[in-house]
Amino acid sequence: MPGPLANMAAAFRVPDLRKRILFVLSMFGVFVIGLHIPIPHVNRDAMERLVSGGALLGLFDIFSGGAFRRFSILAMSITPYINASIIFQLLGVAVPSIARVAKEGESGRKKISQWTRYLTVALALLQGTGICLMLRRTQPDPVIETGGFGLIPIVVTLAAGTCFL
């Protein structure tokens, strides 16, 4: 019975599989780099203390792979996409017109995939706004006051990080 290293060597001999494995490994590298790119207008020390002291924020930090504690551009990770996918799966059962589109074969799946991406952007903006407003009401407040439109760059950066993934 071959060992794990022999299995990996065999997987790398298949060109398509090798390409997929290298893509996944490179995306892990991109994610690790993205963990260290900070969001503007956020006090990292206050954020670290806040996440360390709260059970709910600590759980969200686990789901984001540690990006929430650092409040990096990838702080929301792929949670808006997962939420959008679940919403469309439920709508596919509840709404007959969406169920018909889903049964159209490959073109229907492409349409629903495109709708899911649009909903992901909307949810990322909504969830980013919710996170920023929640953080504004905590002590210590990690969001640095920048004027009336100060939350906009933070929300847009959070949404862009989600869309990048």
Into how many domains does the chain fold? Answer: 1
**Cα distances (Å, whole numbers) of residue 63 to 59, 68, 76, 118:** 6, 9, 9, 22
Residue 149 within any structural domain of the chain = yes
Residue numbers of the domain that contains 133: 35-164
**Residue 104 burial (CB count, 10 A):** 12
- 165/161 Cα distance (integer angstroms): 7
pLDDT digits (tens, 9 = 90+) for 15-27: 898 899 999 999 8
Residue 23 within any structural domain of the chain = no
Q: At a CB cut-off of 8 Å and minimum separation 6, what does 100 contact?
A: 108
Does residue 1 register a pLDDT over 60? no
Does residue 43 register a pLDDT over 90? no
pLDDT score, position 148: 63
Residue 8 within any structural domain of the chain = no
pLDDT score, position 67: 76
pLDDT level of residue 145 (50, 70, 90 thresholds): low
Q: Buried b vs exposed e over 137-147: b needs ≥16 C-beta within 10 Å? A: ebeeebbeeee
State the chain's mean pLDDT as an integer: 84
Residue 5 within any structural domain of the chain = no
Side chain identity at residue 126, one-letter code: L
**For the whole model, what pTM was predicted?**
0.79
pLDDT level of residue 72 (50, 70, 90 thresholds): confident
Residue 68 within any structural domain of the chain = yes
Does residue 92 register a pLDDT over 70? yes
